[in-house]
């Protein structure tokens, strides 16, 4: 009974009206007649979506999104898809509600990556999938990896639709789940019975959530879900090496390349987190002086850039690469509590980084406008 009450409370929190005004995110068409074909339903069930449409949306997620946020194995999603479209959909038996949730959310996220000019139609369809999925959220068993993965799907969706799903509550709930499951800690001896694939999945889930936490919280100057000094989980690269040695799975060249991109992204978030913790938090400086630390951070950022093959970012683009780097340089060199009066050289770097960041928002053609806090700071 307590689990059911908790799940119901979570659903209510995640779907509560966002503090962001809806009009700030989407055009106001209250005075216009409904557009032909524009969905006006509040939720949609998978049984009304043709299989071929679902296949395309799921493939987009697995091929384009999952490699950048690998908190599922592709086979897990494929299994849920088969449960929905190749199994119970063709019988009189009820569909597995967990599978309906996962596939609905996967399609909701995929839909929001559409480059359609008339973006209101994909938004309406995506919102309907989200509300349909949330009808099944409370069937998930609490304190499980599956429930955490399901909540992280809401985090993904909320990055596109913050007026529909509360991104802060979703992220906070997910982080509490991860800490409760011990994902932030190196596995203790009693966990040695876990197979290599489960250990890798646990690490992937945590580090994807870590990157989400930093990317959501730092631009808006919010507290982070967990401090770096409280983390001793294996870095995903170590788990990947263990899997390769055990030969439990095989990866093709494309998968390895995308995996390398993701590892580089997580490393960059670690550098960003260190800058944020020192300049805007209470983290200790790991050097004799603040200037020594700044010089070393500049060195590490240059080294990171040198070690990354720009060709690996061909699908996300050099603009994405420059954009993320510029945000870290901005937080490193701009006036902050730790350094309220930076040098003239730092201010010039800060100004250049701010210009690159704003240019990135324009050239990347982000679907969601940058937050007001980010705009003010840049």
Find the helix or strand (DSSP H, E) in which 332 lies. Answer: helix 318-333
Measured in degrees and rounded to the nearest 5, phi and psi for residue 128 equal -65, -40
How large is the average pLDDT for residues 52-78?
93
- Summarize pLDDT for 207-234 with one digit per residue, the tens: 999 999 999 999 888 999 999 999 999 8
Q: For the packed helices 120-134 and 145-160, what is the interaxial angle rounded to 10 degrees?
A: 160
**CA distances, 218 to each of 221, 283, 331 (Å):** 5, 15, 9
- Summarize pLDDT for 81-140 with one digit per residue, the tens: 999 987 544 444 556 889 999 999 999 999 998 877 778 888 999 999 999 999 999 888
CA distance 141 to 263: 30
- CA 148, 154, 160, 164 dihedral sign is negative
Task: Kindly list the domain boundaries of the chain, sorted by start residue.
Answer: 1-20+38-179, 203-227+253-378
- Summarize pLDDT for 101-112 with one digit per residue, the tens: 999 999 999 999
Q: Which has the closest alpha carbon to 211: 271, 280, 165?
A: 271
This prediction has a pTM of 0.81
- Summarize pLDDT for 265-287 with one digit per residue, the tens: 899 999 999 999 999 999 999 99
Residue by residue, DSSP assigns 61-128 as IIIIITTTS-SS-HHHHHHHHIIIIIIGGGSSSPPPHHHHHHHHHHHHHHHTT---SSTHHHHHHHHH
| pLDDT at position 345 over 90 | yes
- Summarize pLDDT for 149-172 with one digit per residue, the tens: 999 999 999 999 988 889 999 999
């Amino acid at each position: 009974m307590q689990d059911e009450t908790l799940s119901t409370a979570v659903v209510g929190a995640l779907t509560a009206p966002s503090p962001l005004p809806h009009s700030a995110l989407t055009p106001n068409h209250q005075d216009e007649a409904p557009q032909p074909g524009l969905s006006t339903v509040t939720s949609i069930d998978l049984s009304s979506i043709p299989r071929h449409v679902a296949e395309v949306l799921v493939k987009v997620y697995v091929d384009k999104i999952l490699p950048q946020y690998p908190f599922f194995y592709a086979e897990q999603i494929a299994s849920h898809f088969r449960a929905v479209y190749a199994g119970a959909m063709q019988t009189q038996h009820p569909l597995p509600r967990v599978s309906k949730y996962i596939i609905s959310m996967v399609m909701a996220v995929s839909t929001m990556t559409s480059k359609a000019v008339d973006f209101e139609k994909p938004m309406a369809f995506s919102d309907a999938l989200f509300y349909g999925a949330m009808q099944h959220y409370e069937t998930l068993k609490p304190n499980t990896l599956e429930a955490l993965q399901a909540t992280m799907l809401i985090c993904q969706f909320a990055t596109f639709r913050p007026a529909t799903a509360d991104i802060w509550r979703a992220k906070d709930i997910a982080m509490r789940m991860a800490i409760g499951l011990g994902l932030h800690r190196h596995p203790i001896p009693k966990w040695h019975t876990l197979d290599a694939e489960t250990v890798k999945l646990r690490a992937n889930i945590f580090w994807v959530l870590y990157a989400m936490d930093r990317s959501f919280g730092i631009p808006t100057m919010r507290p982070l879900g967990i401090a770096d000094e409280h983390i001793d989980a294996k870095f995903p690269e170590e788990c990947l090496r263990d899997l390769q040695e055990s030969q439990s799975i095989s990866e093709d060249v494309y998968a390895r390349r995308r995996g390398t991109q993701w590892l580089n992204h997580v490393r960059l978030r670690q550098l960003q987190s260190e800058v944020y913790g020192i300049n805007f938090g209470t983290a200790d400086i790991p050097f004799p002086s603040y200037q020594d630390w700044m010089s070393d951070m500049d060195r590490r950022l240059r080294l990171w850039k040198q070690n990354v093959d720009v060709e690996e970012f061909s699908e996300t683009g050099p603009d994405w690469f420059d954009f993320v780097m510029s945000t870290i340089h901005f937080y490193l060199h701009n006036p902050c509590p730790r350094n309220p009066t930076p040098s003239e050289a730092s201010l010039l770097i800060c100004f250049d980084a701010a210009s690159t960041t704003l240019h990135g928002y324009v050239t990347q053609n982000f679907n969601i406008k940058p937050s007001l806090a980010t705009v003010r700071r840049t």
